[in-house]
Copies of this chain bind each other. A is one copy, B any other.
Amino acid sequence: MKSTIRDVAKYANVSISTVSRVMNAPETVVGEKRAKVQEAIEALQYQPNAFARGLIYKKSDTLGVMIPDIENPYYAGLIRGMQDAAVVLGHTLMICNTDRDKERTVAYVQSFFEKQVDGIVFASDSLHKEYYEVIQRYRLPFILASTNAPEYEIPSVDIDDERGAYEAVTHLIESGHRRIGMICFPLDDTISGRPRYDGFRRALREAGLDGCGACVEYAEHRFEHAYEAADFLFTRCPDLTALFAASDEFAMGAISYLREHGRAVPEHVSVIGFDNIRMAGMFIPKLTTIEQPTYDIGYRSILKLHELITTGAVEVLREKLPHQLIIRESTQPF
């Protein structure tokens, strides 16, 4: 069926070693033969079998990627950056959607191992002990993208979430707002949960605006949860003039809620998001937000994984990429 190196050898009347050489070190085979072999390769549409190769080289040029929720627009840029980096390195990506399901995640790691991926990128979710252990057990090189794990020595690429949140809230404060609420991820989420909350708190504290404990509401990851959270929050603290949402999706959920309850954004309430997903610039009003360089995070994380795989180590362990405040229409001075 598929043609093998043997077929090519027969067709060109040479040994298989010669064919192999033509493919991997053409200069070592004399002109005339080389031409014959190349002709045979062309004629038979020969393409070497990656299984056989992998068996010898012990690597697959394939990288595994684990994403919590592919439907979340935040990941689009991340994946795109990874893809582009993979292309320049000649690698292929296997992308898996974990759904934040432990069993499924572990199963994927096993499958990655069996398929001999050269390494794993674990994106944007807390690195639970189980995950750490199963990846360690198979001795797979891996790095964290858009997340990190203070308790382990794992290379990571992300931003400084605490500082981003701090800057977001500071922007609100500098615009004259004094009563500021927050919708945040659960605090046990050590990546976008706790740090963004801490940044929020620190900004308030440094501005002497402490004691706003009641103005925080928690939500899971999606729009609808933020809508509900906004309901709780504004029912409890109706006099808020500004809101820091821990993600753009939260911001959209909150804005929808506000609008449906007769409060205009930004006229009555200013809302700032986080992430700068693509939709942030399309939403009405366009979202003021903290931009995460998702493309770069994706790109850098693949490069870093490559570095780890080839050199066995990594120059800088925890890489923080710069974020940026993007001012659009959903906030205005008080």
Residues in chain A within 8 A of chain B (CB atoms): 1-2, 45, 47-52, 54-55, 60, 62, 70-73, 76-77, 79-80, 83, 87, 92-97, 104, 110-111, 113-116, 137-139, 223, 249, 252-253, 255-256, 259, 278-279, 281-284
Which of these, B1, B111, B284, contacts A284 with CB under 8 Å?
B284
Asked if A73 contacts B279 (CB within 8 A), the reply is yes
A225 and B110 CA atoms in complex are apart in Å by 44
Asked if B45 contacts A49 (CB within 8 A), the reply is no
A94-B92, A223-B282 given; A115·B255 CB < 8 A: no
Q: How far is the CB of A328 from chain B (nearest CB, A)?
A: 12
A45-B137, A92-B115 given; A253·B278 CB < 8 A: no
A51-B55, A87-B104, A256-B282 given; A95·B93 CB < 8 A: yes
Which of these, B2, B45, B48, B55, contacts A52 with CB under 8 Å?
B55
Q: Which of A94, A95, A96 is the most central at the interface, judged by chain B CB atoms within 10 Å of its CB?
A: A95
A283 and B97 CA atoms in complex are apart in Å by 25
Contacts of A73 in B (CB 8 A): 73, 76, 278-279
A124 and B111 CA atoms in complex are apart in Å by 28
Q: How far is the CB of A230 from chain B (nearest CB, A)?
A: 13
A-B contact pairs, 24 of them (CB 8 A): A45-B138, A49-B55, A49-B116, A50-B115, A51-B60, A52-B55, A55-B55, A62-B115, A70-B79, A71-B76, A72-B76, A73-B73, A73-B278, A73-B279, A80-B97, A87-B104, A92-B96, A92-B115, A93-B94, A253-B282, A255-B284, A279-B279, A282-B283, A283-B283
Asked if B95 contacts A48 (CB within 8 A), the reply is no
Asked if A50 contacts B114 (CB within 8 A), the reply is yes
Contacts of A283 in B (CB 8 A): 282-284
Contacts of A51 in B (CB 8 A): 50-52, 54-55, 60, 116
A-B residue pairs, 4 tightest by C-beta: A51-B54, A71-B76, A51-B55, A83-B97
Q: How far is the CB of A76 from chain B (nearest CB, A)?
A: 4
A79 and B259 CA atoms in complex are apart in Å by 32
Which of these, B71, B94, B138, B249, contacts A77 with CB under 8 Å?
B71
Asked if A47 contacts B79 (CB within 8 A), the reply is no
A139 and B139 CA atoms in complex are apart in Å by 36
Asked if B116 contacts A92 (CB within 8 A), the reply is no
Q: How far is the CB of A46 from chain B (nearest CB, A)?
A: 11
Q: How far is the CB of A130 from chain B (nearest CB, A)?
A: 15
A76 and B72 CA atoms in complex are apart in Å by 8
A65 and B281 CA atoms in complex are apart in Å by 29
Asked if B114 contacts A47 (CB within 8 A), the reply is yes
Contacts of A110 in B (CB 8 A): 47
Q: How far is the CB of A80 from chain B (nearest CB, A)?
A: 6
**15 extra interface residue pairs, beta carbon distance < 8 Å, beyond A51-B55, A70-B83, A73-B76:** A45-B138, A48-B114, A51-B51, A51-B52, A70-B76, A70-B80, A83-B96, A92-B115, A223-B281, A249-B282, A252-B282, A253-B282, A259-B284, A279-B279, A279-B282
